[in-house]
Amino acid sequence: MRSAVTLPAFVRPLISRGRTWWEDRAPRERALLVVLATILFLWGAWAGVWHPLQQARTAAQSEIRLYTELATRLRTAGPALQTPAAGPIRSQPVQMIVTITASESALQIRQIEQQGEVTRVVLETVDFNRLVQWLDRLERDAGVTVAAGRIERQTAPGVVNARLSLVRQ
């Protein structure tokens, strides 16, 4: 019976020498070599497969515990986190709040003017998403809302000009 796999020519003499070496061993030596090979195989399987899997499992379990604890903390602190900040930002004038928060949001104000209770703001070539996030922050943190506004799309995607009238509630 001929094997389906054709071995390179340099391998055949190696196999022949290996068989000769094995047959020259006494039965007791062969048994010891088989036991040694089995031990080495089992150790390799443990060190290369089982142990790394156990370490990964332990790390994953500790991460799960950490995230579960974090989720519990967030659930218990949730109501406190949702209340608006009554800190120093609410006590400042609207014009100052708008200027500070706009610079923190990387928005450049082209013009700002106060007319009684209304603060008029002009922003040009600003990112729309950043503008919306800024307006949400103004409302959430400082109680400043948009009374009137006009937002015009520009040729660049996601870029707008905005004229806003802001009031504190």
* Alpha helices, DSSP H, located in the chain: 11-24, 27-45, 51-82, 88-91, 94-104, 128-137
Query: In which band, very low, low, confident or very high, does the pLDDT at 5 lie, cut at 50, 70 and 90?
Result: confident
Does the pLDDT value for residue 84 go beyond 70? Answer: no
What is the distance between the alpha carbons of residues 80 and 47, in angstroms, rounded to a whole number? 49
What is the distance between the alpha carbons of residues 95 and 93, in angstroms, rounded to a whole number? 6
Looking at every residue in the chain, the average pLDDT score rounds to 89
Angle (nearest 5°) at CA 103 between 108 and 107: 35
Q: What proportion of the chain, given as a percentage, has pLDDT over 90?
A: 70
Query: In which band, very low, low, confident or very high, does the pLDDT at 86 lie, cut at 50, 70 and 90?
Result: very low
Does the pLDDT value for residue 130 go beyond 70? Answer: yes
